[in-house]
Structure 1
């Protein structure tokens, strides 16, 4: 493409004397964190920021970016690049149009995804999630029970956790891909409806499946929770499913829910009747940051909060529970 076609519409200060785009100046003046924040919620972790990857389905945040360097990298799918690349991928535009949009030049409107197509895809995934949930059964006697027993949490498992053989993906024509054994956790909205699922894929020995992410969500998970007990005035809210199951055993009689990961802790929509939430997080820096963000978000809604972290040097509550029973 000719240089004048690349730079047409760009402010003059972003055009080099040779007619090329001064990408260095553009990237220096645009925050990659602001670009990423359109597609994922970010938490500060040391000198970097972390969130759920916008390019693949995950529940444990593996997407990192460095705002001062203007770069991003996903440890889950290996997506990486700079500010312009990230904007281009999120908005589905080419390089010159991404530069023009970031520079504030007059150009055609761009959106992260076509609204109608995106809404249709989300509706289809919610329907698939409900179908997979309905066909799933109890974990008793399955590799899901084996997996949970290996974590010392496979006793009296609530019915909101099931076992099924479910696809990892669906083809463009709507047909399902190969089915694999999985522990399936139901994601309930504020009204208690199953609107999504989290699948933990397992091998024949009840271990997390290798090759690709063993955890995938389907349907709506953001804002939902896995309920391991009924709505009560006081509940405990943990990050991972295994941590919630561990806390349920550590605090008999308590209502414990899981937010399906750190990134969703601050977004869980609480039903009426809950006035106090003990937010339970991992012992590391990112876990504490996620708990702080959740407490702030709940406080804005008038809900009282407390916090709880693992003891005895354990990094999470499942590790603490296992150590207690070693």
Structure 2
């Protein structure tokens, strides 16, 4: 006989997006995940709840992980933590109360493949509508952050007016945006990452979530140069472009968050990987998880941890030569010297 916990967990998983909207209302959907700051419903991007997958087992919908704390579990665990419940009985009662309450039909009840295809299609339309980055406000934003990397062939574009909403039902507004193509190992666009910009200043827009992703992001990334046997991977676009400023010919990938860093799909041919680690708990945890997976696959792994909040923060405060020296210590001399001569 199936346990009451298993039955309730599966029932909650059938309505996973409704659970997230109710208990984690300050979060938002990001591709196949609900993203929020933590189990206390603070705004942020550390906690990810899977919205697609089977009802139980590997990759089950409703499974969640907080990259900052390494907490994880199913939707019963989420409800217990969110409501501050101690006993299983109280947790089960709260779950049953939720399941018996009326709610709107949500996207997890629709065809999953269709939903994912729609977000990928929209992401590709945004990319197609965007313009080359050179000479635009997006380039000015990156240059203001002391990034000197060549952007001519970078997977980056610009849109002068892209719709932004604080929440799904909030009134829309149009903001300029830096648009990055998120690709798989075949080079196919699977999503986009948008950095909304301030219309007046060369800075991020003063909004709740100026960075947003759309499409199938998990396992993919923003790729700067083709990957063969070696790659450097970091979280943010600005972090990776800061490293690209001192090592322009080394292949690099921006995973876009600590959780996505941990889940990045390592290409079959990669033999050595350098992980550029953001200097916070989420960054270190994400790097550790990726490192463990890579080493299990026979990949030699090195790490370089930012001396600032991230590597763009380090670049802006210590300068290009200091960052160049630090990166050189983490790389085989032949690889770094080739980059420096270019």
Q: TM-score w.r.t. structure 2 length?
A: 0.63
Instruction: Give the unaligned 5+ runs of structure 2.
Output: 18-23, 48-77, 84-90, 100-104, 321-342
Measure how far apart 1:251 and its partner are. Answer: 2.5
Measure how far apart 1:280 and its partner are. Answer: 1.1
Structure 1 residue aligned with 2:176: 181
Relative distance call for 1:323 and 1:84 in structure 2 (3 A) is: closer
Q: Is the 8 A contact 1:84 1:99 kept in 2?
A: no
- CA displacement, residues 40-74 of structure 1 (integer Å, 9 cap, x when unaligned): xxxxxxxxxxx9x8634499x75213xxxxxx222
Tell which structure's C-alpha radius of gyration is larger: 1
SS of the residue corresponding to residue 28 of structure 2 reads coil
Measure how far apart 1:100 and its partner are. Answer: 3.4
Measure how far apart 1:127 and its partner are. Answer: 0.4
- CA distance in structure 2 between the partners assigned to 1:304 and 1:112 by the alignment: 44
Structure 1 residue aligned with 2:228: 232
- CA displacement, residues 67-91 of structure 1 (integer Å, 9 cap, x when unaligned): xxxxx222249x9xx716969xxxx
Structure 2 residue aligned with 1:309: 305
- CA distance in structure 2 between the partners assigned to 1:250 and 1:96 by the alignment: 54
Q: Could you say which structure has the higher helix fraction?
A: 2
Q: TM-score w.r.t. structure 1 length?
A: 0.66
How do 1:204-223 residues align onto structure 2 when only pairs under 5 Å count?
Answer: 204=199, 205-223=201-219
Relative distance call for 1:121 and 1:315 in structure 2 (3 A) is: same
Q: Is the 8 A contact 1:63 1:76 kept in 2?
A: yes
- CA distance in structure 1 between the partners assigned to 2:283 and 2:190 by the alignment: 26
Relative distance call for 1:85 and 1:101 in structure 2 (3 A) is: farther
Structure 2 residue aligned with 1:272: 268
Structure 1 residue aligned with 2:123: 129
- Report the RMSD for the aligned CA atoms in angstroms: 4.1
Q: Is the 8 A contact 2:193 2:213 kept in 1?
A: yes
Measure how far apart 1:142 and its partner are. Answer: 1.2
Measure how far apart 1:97 and its partner are. Answer: 8.2
- CA displacement, residues 216-243 of structure 1 (integer Å, 9 cap, x when unaligned): 1111111111111111211100111110
Measure how far apart 1:178 and its partner are. Answer: 4.7
Measure how far apart 1:270 and its partner are. Answer: 2.7
Structure 2 residue aligned with 1:296: 292
- CA distance in structure 1 between the partners assigned to 2:149 and 2:298 by the alignment: 35
- CA distance in structure 1 between the partners assigned to 2:298 and 2:222 by the alignment: 22
Q: Is the 8 A contact 1:263 1:290 kept in 2?
A: yes
Relative distance call for 1:119 and 1:85 in structure 2 (3 A) is: farther
Measure how far apart 1:249 and its partner are. Answer: 1.5
Instruction: Give the unaligned 5+ runs of structure 1.
Output: 1-10, 12-25, 40-50, 66-71, 88-94, 106-110
Structure 1 residue aligned with 2:164: 168
Structure 1 residue aligned with 2:143: 149
Range 113-122 or range 230-239, more displaced: 113-122
Measure how far apart 1:160 and its partner are. Answer: 0.3
Relative distance call for 1:138 and 1:97 in structure 2 (3 A) is: farther
SS of the residue corresponding to residue 275 of structure 2 reads strand
Which of 17, 23, 28 aligns to 1:55? It is 28
Relative distance call for 1:54 and 1:177 in structure 2 (3 A) is: closer
- CA distance in structure 2 between the partners assigned to 1:135 and 1:113 by the alignment: 26
- CA distance in structure 1 between the partners assigned to 2:109 and 2:227 by the alignment: 34
Q: Is the 8 A contact 1:145 1:154 kept in 2?
A: no
- CA distance in structure 2 between the partners assigned to 1:190 and 1:112 by the alignment: 32
